[in-house]
Structure 1
Amino acid sequence: MHKLSIVDARRIAVRAQLLATDRPTSLVDLVRHLTLLQIDPTAAVAPTADLVAWSRLGPAYAPADLVAALGKRSLVELWATIRPAEDVGLYRAEMVAGRDRPPVAEWQKRHRAWVEANDACRRDILARLAAEGPLPSRAIPDTCAVPWTSTGWTNDKNVIRLLDIMSVRGEVAVAGRQGRDRLWDLAERVWPDEPPVPIDEAARRRDQRRLRALGIARAKTTKVPIEPYDVGAAGEPAVVEGVKGTWRVDPAHLDGRPFTGRTALLSPFDRLIHDRRRLQEIFGFEYGLEMYKPAGQRRWGYYALPILHGDRLVGKLDATADRRAGVLRVGAVHQDEPFTREVTAAVDGEIASLASWLGLEVSGRYPTVPPRS
């Protein structure tokens, strides 16, 4: 049982996420280590996959690098994430098993019934992709017998919804993008021609890789979509001073190396801050996405970027990229703790670096909001 101070825990998490002084130099190696870049359509500053890469790689990173890696298929798009191509084998056995596994939850039953009712359309899609793929969804005729109903944006978007479900089943995959449109093809033509890893072994390896990327995590915690927060039996047990319960820690991060931190602006979807419970327990940092709140109810801004300084999260940056005007509009820098001159200078430098990377100018002076008393 490893006994860690709260500072130890923070530094393990920061170093594991490649946010210490030594920057990685390769985009593909970066994604291999992090295991994923999340895809999200919101790009008030920049797409989150690009922001996460920039936070680690620095000004040397260009979004074209990600496009190129996806084009070469060293990286692939899988379920709203970008992952190393070789990791797809860790999911394929589960995909195939899920096709025949009896549904349990009500939503699973509804999905299964809808897919079965539209099996002719599903087979039409597979045949068309085999003959003409890759194709955007709008190029695929809608022959669904039963429409998809939803209170959200997918209502009556039958082909898009069916493609998404077929991708979970491992039948189709995103082969690339044409602007914002996903290009679909048969999964077997997109993914590496390697045998799937058996389900239990794949789950064990995914947990190990996730812990290596997080450094420290709970064995079990709240279930979330896209990527779990917990890591099962991976790593070794640890306790953190002042925090209840047992953690799992990757022993590779317990090598005794001195920690040297830096200042970084993080995506709202960055994995360092994604698990809000861990964020509060280890960093004592309160954060939430406010883009869905009315403007008058926002504390930090529509798309506030958490600010990392060394091993502490010290504030949030309220910023928006106004590309038409050619400026990065900074609404405010919100302090979670009083900034020293050193921290202020470092944060100002990162804001200037972000604007330069985006090809924008910072929009003049910006206010600093002190911590709440």
Structure 2
Amino acid sequence: MVLERTGAVPESLRLADARRIAIAAQLRPKATRFKTVLERLGCIQLDTISAVRRAHELTLLARGLDVDEAVRSLERRRTPVAFEYWAHAMSLLPVSAWPYMARRRKAWRERYHTPDLAAAEADVIALLRERGAITVSDFPNGAMHRGNGSVTNMGDSWNFRTDHKRAVEHLLWYGDVACTDRIGGFKRVYQLAERAIPSEHLWDADDEECLRYMVSTALRNLGVGTTKDVADYFRLKIVDTERVLRELGVEQVAVEGWKARAWIDPQVRRTRLTGAERPVAVSMFDQLVWLRERMERLWGHGWKIEIYVPEPQRTFGYYCLPVFVGSDLPGRVALRRSNGDLVVEAAQWDDARADREYLHAAVERAASWVGAEVRWKAEVRGFDTAVAEV
């Protein structure tokens, strides 16, 4: 990597180097343990959709974990490794991050405390003290019950959360309750935080410590990014993020083609960047592509998630996975498991590249994650032609 300095002008960074920095910060050498990757990334997004595998598993698999280790990531452990909380979205966080979510827990309590749930919250606490660990199946009316046709705040006119379900979720936001593992069917196991979180991590950092932790973790995992990029990682306010970056004395650079100046992780100076050709498909819930405008600034693509778009209105496919090769993003593929096959519903590849074998290698690798055979339903198209209908 070559950085150019010209007098008082901020250092400049070639776009190709910014790409390599971003990849080096994320897709580092192969890891073998869930804990290692989680502590490195700071958080891993959760999502219920499993068109290929669940989102957190794909994040782990893209970073070199084997399938068994990725699948076991939500299992109960003698000493908890992770807890669930709101980070970029609902995510897994390392238990060592518990103190630094205190600012967010306080904000949730101040914003969402509702007296009408006091009785249900007391019921949940009593049940937890009696049984130690519970799921929503332990509630008298479960998690959801039939409505009378009225639309809830979730926009669902048929099913809505019972008071006990709402109460346990509020207690999770407040930090009174924690979830450190799940059981069959992706079902949360709830415990009192005092029982679930190891004692050495069961304390609250002050607001500034929390902000410094989240901003530093975000920058380390971006390598280089604008203030908005850094703020988006943990969904912080831009004004708070910029203040903390300045207080930390983080250096700024001008990245080729970017309008806003960027911040660069100090560790980048001591990192030898390589562009190893290692094709891998990542989910759209992966932190490499969380902020679509950042993806577009780095790689020229601003692809959107079309999971919630009606099929006739989709421009590509239901479950899009960008395919990275080294530090480049030459294409994408839409995959879905079906009857023992991994079906390729759509695929696009940069016409300027003559290396479509990388696309096929990424698809075959994804198929190994689900133990399936690849079935191509669509031909590979370039970016200057329409995507094949599926």
TM class by shorter chain equals 0.7 to 0.9
On the 8 A contact 2:75/2:183 being kept in 1, the answer is no
Alpha-carbon distance in 1 for matches of 2:269, 2:309: 41
Distance in 1, matches of 2:352 and 2:345, equals: 17
Whether the 8 Å contact between 2:24 and 2:273 is mirrored in structure 1 is no
| CA-CA distance at 1:372 after TM superposition | 1.8
1:344–1:220: structure 2 CA closer, same or farther, 3 Å change rule? closer
* Partner in structure 1 of residue 251 of structure 2: 236
1:23 equivalenced with 2:37 (yes/no): no
Letter aligned with residue 258 of structure 2: V
Superposed CA deviations along residues 118-174 of structure 1, whole A, max 9, x for unmatched, are 21221121111111131112312369xxx9942435734322222212111111111
After the TM superposition, which of the residue ranges 70-79 and 239-248 deviates more from structure 2?
A: 70-79
**Other-structure match for 1:105:** none
Structure-2 change in CA distance of 1:365 and 1:69 (3 Å):
same
Residue 32 (1) aligns with residue 66 (2): no
How far did residue 365 of structure 1 move?
Answer: 6.8
Q: Find the residue that maps to 2:166 and give its secondary structure.
A: helix
Aligned partner of 1:338 among 339, 351, 369: 351
* 1:116 maps to amino acid: P
CA, structure 1 residues 367+94, in 2 after alignment: closer, same or farther (shift >3 Å)? closer
CA positional deviation for 1:41: 0.6
Shift of 1:203: 1.1
Please name the residue that 2:205 is paired with.
Answer: 197
CA distance, structure 2, for counterparts of residue 98 and residue 353 of structure 1: 41
Amino acid at match of 1:43: S
Aligned counterpart for 1:82 among listed residues 92, 103, 119: 92
Please give the alpha-carbon distance, in whole angstroms, between the structure 2 residues aligned to 1:167 and 1:302.
31
Per-residue CA shift, 1:309-347, capped at 9, x if unaligned?
Answer: 22221111011012xx21101112112x21633x31122
TM norm structure 2:
0.83
Q: Which amino acid aligns with 1:363?
A: R
Equivalences, count = 354
Aligned to 2:6: none
Task: Provide the rounded CA distance (Å) in 1 between the counterparts of 2:227 and 2:211.
Answer: 13
1:72-124, Cα deviation, whole Å (9 max, x unpaired): 4122222321111111111135424653x4xxxxxx4xx43xx2122122112
CA distance in 2 between counterparts of 1:222 and 1:211 reads 6
TM-score normalised by length of structure 1:
0.86
For residues 21-76 of structure 1, the C-alpha deviation after alignment (integer angstroms, 9 at most, x for no partner) is: x3233321111111111110111111010001111115466433313476641222
Deviations, residues 264-315 of structure 1 (Å, cap 9, x unaligned): 1011111111111211112211210011112122122001101112222111
1:217 has 2:230 as partner: no
1:278 — aligned with what?
294
Contact 2:79 2:198 survives alignment (8 Å): no
Alignment-derived partner of residue 153 in structure 2: 150
Report how far residue 259 of structure 1 moved. 1.3
Taking the aligned partners of 2:382 and 2:255, their CA distance within structure 1 comes to 30
Deviation at 1:216, TM superposition (A): 1.7
Contact 2:279 2:358 (C-alpha < 8 Å) held by counterparts:
yes
Equivalences for residues 155-166 of structure 1 within 5 A? 155-166=160-171
Q: Which amino acid counterpart does residue 252 of structure 1 have in structure 2?
A: Q
* CA distance, structure 2, for counterparts of residue 351 and residue 121 of structure 1: 48
Q: 2:76 and 2:222 mapped to 1: Cα distance?
A: 24
List runs of 5+ in structure 2 lacking aligned partners. 1-9, 386-390
**Cα 1:12–1:61 shift into 2, 3 Å:** farther
Opposite residue 168 of structure 1, the aligned amino acid is W
Counterpart-to-counterpart distance in 2, 1:16 and 1:307: 17
Q: Among residues 344, 348, 356, which one is paired with 2:360 in the alignment?
A: 348
CA contact (8 A) 2:32 2:66 kept: no
Report if the CA contact (8 A) 1:9-1:282 is conserved. Answer: yes
**Amino-acid identity (%):** 25
Matched-pair contact (CA < 8 Å) for 1:71–1:176: no
For the residue of structure 2 that corresponds to 1:274, the secondary structure is: coil
Residue 310 of structure 2: aligned partner? 294
Q: Does residue 184 of structure 1 match 2:200?
A: no
What are structure 1's unaligned runs of at least 5 residues?
A: 102-107
Partner of 2:17: 8
Any conservation in 1 of the 2:215–2:230 contact (CA below 8 Å)? no
**Alignment correspondent of 1:170:** 175
Contact 1:221/1:229 (<8 A) preserved: no
| Residue type of the alignment partner of 1:152 | G
Distance 1:299 1:361 in 2: 26
Q: Distance in 2 between matches of 1:253 and 1:345?
A: 31
* CA drift at 1:223: 7.1
Asked if structure 1 preserves the Cα contact closer than 8 Å seen for 2:343 and 2:374, the reply is: yes
